[in-house]
Structure 1
Amino acid sequence: MQALLNAIATMDLPTDAQRIFHGRGGLYPGCEHWALDAFPPVFVLTSFQPASDDELAAVGAALAARWQQLAPGESLNWVFQCRHEGRTETRLMAGSVPEPHVVTEQGAKFRVHVLKGQNHGLFLDMAEGRRWVRDYVTAHPVGGRGATILNLFAYTCAFSVVALQAGAKQVVNVDMSRGAIAIGQQNHQLNGLSAGGSFLAHDIFSTWGKINRSGPYELVIVDPPSFQRGSFVATKDYARLMHRLHDMLMPGGHVLLCLNAPELGVDFLQDQMRELAPELTFVERVANPAVFADVAEERALKVLVYAAPG
């Protein structure tokens, strides 16, 4: 675990939410099961296999030593989560976690919850995707009135927050989780966004009527789970979305397709798009944050941009 300890010893004082160490990318042999994130003022260490008391003590000592250098006199707060064989165990190792716990990213505020569940409220690997959306909206003021955006599988609506901050006219957020949508509404309030966002806590596949009434859209964001029983299974359900994309987009509009499934490469999305939405043109793959580098880019998060005919 020396690579993890080295990353801790050389890290800068984190201000925004960010990943500090990404062993899952396979670049550090022997550390593939470790990840360290900063959700200021809390660090979250995740292991994808059981960790010994000695290993946790070593990480705790490294964090304490570096924290004393970065923020002398301030309390160190850190959480450990073990995910193994379908079970998740989360422990507060030192300090405390604020409630509410609000973090920042590129000037936006988001509420997170690091002591429960595997998804903490903000997916850190999607930081460049959110930056892309912010830049897109800034660069595409539609008739001076701002873009209209559809955010599918919105989760806690982080895409919506950055789009509205950048000047979007309207963002329609759809997610079947009422809890996630409720946090998404809180995120809008945290950022002073009282208008422009709408929220549908519905199953996307039974909500097309409501979705279409607000369209067509300049940008459609599709960021589904790769496998969520009863909700979405990428290998069979992504195709059900693709053949609807053209009808949802304005001429010249764009779609952002996201997929975080190591077993499915870029070809999975591109081959189906050629078959089911051939009128849309591939534009680019959005780079992931540098800290999420992977020995095999095909395993890493896929964020692809497509454009409709003008």
Structure 2
Amino acid sequence: MKRIIAAIEQGLSEENNDARRFFHGRGQCYEGLGFINVDWFAPVLLITLYQEPDAVDWHAFTDNLTVFQSDMDAVLVQRRYIRGAPLETLWGDIPQQAQALEQGLRYSLSFGGKQNVGFFLDMLPGREWLKQRATGKKVLNLFSYTCAFSVVAIAENAHSVVNLDMSSAALNVGRSNHRLNQHDDRLKRDIQFLSHDLFRSWKKVISKGPYDIVIIDPPSRQKGSFIATSDYIKVVRRLLSLMPKGGDILACLNAPELDEQFLLDLFTEACPEASFVERLEARKDFPEADSRRNLKMLHYQL
């Protein structure tokens, strides 16, 4: 556990308030530490546990953490191995209006209510990819969740964004994220939020196109919503109707059991008109012993 303390100390020394991962144990790069991740949402430290730690090691670790008490308002511990992923505090209070800062943009966070806090750190390379090409473009953000891609697109002066997600609650957070970044005037005319099941709403989605950029970032397995092995191909088959004049696609998949070849084969079968450009490189603070298991972000062009 001393390795984790050293990682936290190194992260704090960088004087960077952008949200980031201080320690990525789940990447299985550190023997005996695959059960723990540590994320920094200044001034809050979030420790996520995926199994019960050794009691002696955990006690020593939390004692050593106190040296950083002046640098943090709160240290939160989420126990994912317990049903409901309960959250506790080592010190401080669970913040009610927390935010993640990333490259000058802000995103709402929700601690304690659900397993996820509402913002995925590992998707930064995808947001940077969009930042480079969003200006003046019509963007379709499928499975948009809390609309982080939309925030980036509008910040880069995209022509418009259509966000689609089955969760109206997530889309409401998306609206809040735009307001956090002073996008109120664009909300009224250039940003749309569709709380729909995509597979029952193709006509509506197509009618709002054609799009220059399509982002596909679904859950890998969510009962009643999306199962990657059977449903991803249904989206890829529709790409030509969504962007008949061509454009850029970011196809994402966070499923350790499915490697990059799954997506490559799927595009070859369902949309051979799309050319593979590259797989985006993962964040440096998310090291993986096996790159086949981590987040896949593939850039295609029609």
Is the TM value for this pair above 0.5? yes
Letter in 1 for 2:20: Q
TM-score by length of 1: 0.91
Give the structure 2 partner of residue 33 of structure 1: 35
Q: Tell me, yes or no, if the aligned pair for 1:225 and 1:260 is still in contact at 8 Å.
A: yes
In the aligned structure 1, how far is the partner of 2:82 from the partner of 2:240?
A: 40
Give the structure 2 partner of residue 205 of structure 1: 199
Give the structure 1 partner of residue 11 of structure 2: 11
Letter in 2 for 1:5: I
In the aligned structure 1, how far is the partner of 2:271 from the partner of 2:77?
A: 43
Displacement, 1:247? Answer: 1.5
Q: Tell me, yes or no, if the aligned pair for 1:4 and 1:34 is still in contact at 8 Å.
A: no
In the aligned structure 2, how far is the partner of 1:90 from the partner of 1:49?
A: 14
- What SS is found at the alignment partner of 2:282? coil
Provide, for residues 112-153 of structure 1, a one-character-per-residue CA deviation record: whole Å limited to 9, x for no partner: 012221110100000111111111214xxxxxxx10000000
- What SS is found at the alignment partner of 1:88? coil
Moved more, 51-60 or 262-271: 51-60
Aligned residue pairs, count? 296
- Give me the identity figure in percent: 40
In the aligned structure 1, how far is the partner of 2:222 from the partner of 2:89?
A: 28
Letter in 2 for 1:201: S
> Does residue 1:290 correspond to 2:284, yes or no?
yes
CA 1:86 to 1:275, structure 2 compared with 1: closer, same or farther past 3 Å?
farther
Matches within 5 A, 1:147-162: 147-162=137-152
- What SS is found at the alignment partner of 1:176? coil
Q: Tell me, yes or no, if the aligned pair for 2:96 and 2:111 is still in contact at 8 Å.
A: no
CA RMSD of aligned residues (A): 1.5
Provide, for residues 257-292 of structure 1, a one-character-per-residue CA deviation record: whole Å limited to 9, x for no partner: 000001100000000100100000001111111011
In the aligned structure 2, how far is the partner of 1:89 from the partner of 1:6?
A: 26
CA 1:220 to 1:137, structure 2 compared with 1: closer, same or farther past 3 Å?
same
Displacement, 1:293? Answer: 1.4
CA 1:65 to 1:16, structure 2 compared with 1: closer, same or farther past 3 Å?
same
Give the structure 2 partner of residue 135 of structure 1: 132
Q: Tell me, yes or no, if the aligned pair for 1:283 and 1:306 is still in contact at 8 Å.
A: yes
Where do 5+ consecutive residues of structure 2 fail to align?
none
Q: Tell me, yes or no, if the aligned pair for 2:213 and 2:249 is still in contact at 8 Å.
A: yes
**Structure 2 residue corresponding to 1:222, chosen from 216, 227, 244:** 216
In the aligned structure 2, how far is the partner of 1:91 from the partner of 1:203?
A: 34
Give the structure 2 partner of residue 192 of structure 1: 182
Provide, for residues 155-196 of structure 1, a one-character-per-residue CA deviation record: whole Å limited to 9, x for no partner: 000000000100101000000011100100100111111212
Where do 5+ consecutive residues of structure 1 fail to align?
139-145
Give the structure 1 partner of residue 172 of structure 2: 182
In the aligned structure 1, how far is the partner of 2:61 from the partner of 2:121?
A: 21
Q: Tell me, yes or no, if the aligned pair for 1:3 and 1:31 is still in contact at 8 Å.
A: no
> Does residue 1:233 correspond to 2:227, yes or no?
yes
Q: Tell me, yes or no, if the aligned pair for 1:174 and 1:204 is still in contact at 8 Å.
A: yes
Displacement, 1:53? Answer: 4.5
